[in-house]
Amino acid sequence: MKKSTIKILILISICLIVFNNCKTSKERISISDDEKTSFNKTEGDTITISSDVTEYEIIIIEPGFNFWLQSTARPEGFYSQTYLENRNQIYVSEWNRRVLKPQRYNPNLYELEINYQPNINYGYDVNYKLYNYFIYFQRKYNQRLGPFMPRI
């Protein structure tokens, strides 16, 4: 009787250890004072992202984004266009998935689908600003659109 009790206790202990180790840990994102300032802005910011090469345009109406882009984001040229395109494809896919599930995700955050095609060259400026909007959005609203932390 004692041997079976000990085996059960050991099995339970192992299960608890495995369960605790399988939990995903939430990494804390450190937010600078400049970021906090941009997140707390309430007056409208409108940024139009367009490319002379293509006929595509993105309009972002988000208070504080322009300030954040100028004060916090990595400068233009820091990332390659390929890097930005790859990340944007991941972010857009998840964003659009959430737009289509308003019962699960806040429809006030995910209002409209983004039509971003991987076979179209949108140019560096469009990809740079779109990528940075996704980083800003994730950090401000504590969202995760990809498998990696939204870092600056």
pLDDT digits (tens, 9 = 90+) for 51-73: 666 677 778 788 888 888 888 88
Rounded Cα distance between 37 and 71, Å, is 10
Residue with token string 């395109």: 85
124 vs 7: which has the higher pLDDT: 124
Per-chain mean pLDDT for the chain: 78
Give the other-Cβ count within 10 Å of 88's Cβ: 22
Q: What is the pTM of this model?
A: 0.72
The pLDDT value recorded for residue 81 is: 96
Domain spans in the chain, listed from the N-terminal domain onward = 29-141
pLDDT average, residue stretch 21-42: 58
Residue range 94-126, pLDDT digits in tens: 999 999 999 999 999 999 999 999 899 888 989
CB half-sphere exposure, 42, CA atoms < 13 A: 0
